[in-house]
Each structure stands twice: as structure tokens, then as C-alpha cells.
């Protein structure tokens, strides 16, 4: 896959995430695809988002953390793997939205389906938001 095709797939996944479109995200995953938020999940009270199967984990995250907006800041693509930096606006429950940065490691298969996503978040901000929810 060419660089732009990889980034188009990733951008489409973020669009579906912002729209809360669980079905569209599930369609983007290859059989056996995995999604994980990096870090020690024991620090995140009430966190439900994996690591686990891509579709189920993405659905749990949609239910728990709302994406209001995301802007791709930078990306490095090697073949079907990408490292992407984002600026995003998130919220938990009815709490006020907050801005943060996310860093993703993506791997796609030859058909452009997601094989793996590891997302690095500001766990301190997420912990604070989850604690208020």
C-alpha cells in the first residue's frame, strides 16, 4: 500500500470514531485484529477499553470516551505500518471536553484492513476525566 492509502484508511477510522460509528469501525478490522490503549489500566477507574479484539474494544471506548474532533499532526508510514500523532478533543460522560494529544501505532493487512492499533494517551488527563464521570 502507498503512504496516502494507509493514511486514508487511518483517517477513515478516526472519522468513524468521532461519529461513534461502531459498525463502520468493525468493518475496518481484519479477522483477529487487536486494539490496546497503552499503559497501566489499573490506574484508570472504570476504564473498559481493552486491550482486546478490535471491534469490541472500539465499541467499549466509543461508549466511554467521546471524540469531538481529531487533527492529524504528523505521520510516519513504512509499508503497511504507521505512527501517527493527533491533537484531539475528548470527553467522558457529561464532563467538559478537553484537548490532548494521542500517538498511535497502526498495522494494516494487504487489503487495508486493520491488524493492530496501539494508542498512547495522556493517562493522567484520562484518569482525571474518568474520575469525574
**Mean pLDDT in residue range 117-133:** 84
Residue 66 pLDDT: 93
Across all residues in the chain, what is the average pLDDT? 90
Domains and CATH numbers, the chain: 3-132 (3.10.450.50)
In the chain, what percentage of residues exceed pLDDT 90? 66
CB 45 within 8 A of CB 117: no
Segment 18-72, tens digit of pLDDT: 999 999 999 999 999 999 888 776 666 666 666 788 999 899 889 888 999 999 9
Q: What's the CA gap between 98 and 128, in Å, rounded?
A: 11
pTM listed for this prediction: 0.89
Q: What are phi and psi of 24, to 5 degrees?
A: -65, -40
Amino acid at each position: 500500500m502507498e503512504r496516502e492509502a494507509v493514511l486514508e484508511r487511518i483517517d477513515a477510522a478516526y472519522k468513524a470514531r468521532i461519529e461513534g460509528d461502531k459498525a463502520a469501525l468493525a468493518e475496518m478490522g481484519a479477522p483477529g485484529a487487536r486494539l490496546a490503549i497503552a499503559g497501566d489500566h489499573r490506574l484508570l477507574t472504570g476504564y473498559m477499553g481493552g486491550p482486546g479484539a478490535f471491534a469490541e474494544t472500539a465499541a467499549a471506548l466509543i461508549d466511554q470516551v467521546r471524540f469531538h474532533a481529531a487533527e492529524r499532526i504528523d505521520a510516519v508510514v513504512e509499508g503497511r505500518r504507521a505512527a501517527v500523532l493527533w491533537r484531539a478533543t475528548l470527553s467522558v460522560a457529561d464532563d467538559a471536553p478537553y484537548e490532548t494529544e494521542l500517538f498511535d501505532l497502526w498495522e494494516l493487512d494487504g487489503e487495508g484492513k486493520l491488524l493492530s492499533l496501539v494508542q498512547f494517551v495522556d493517562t493522567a488527563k484520562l484518569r482525571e476525566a474518568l474520575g469525574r464521570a
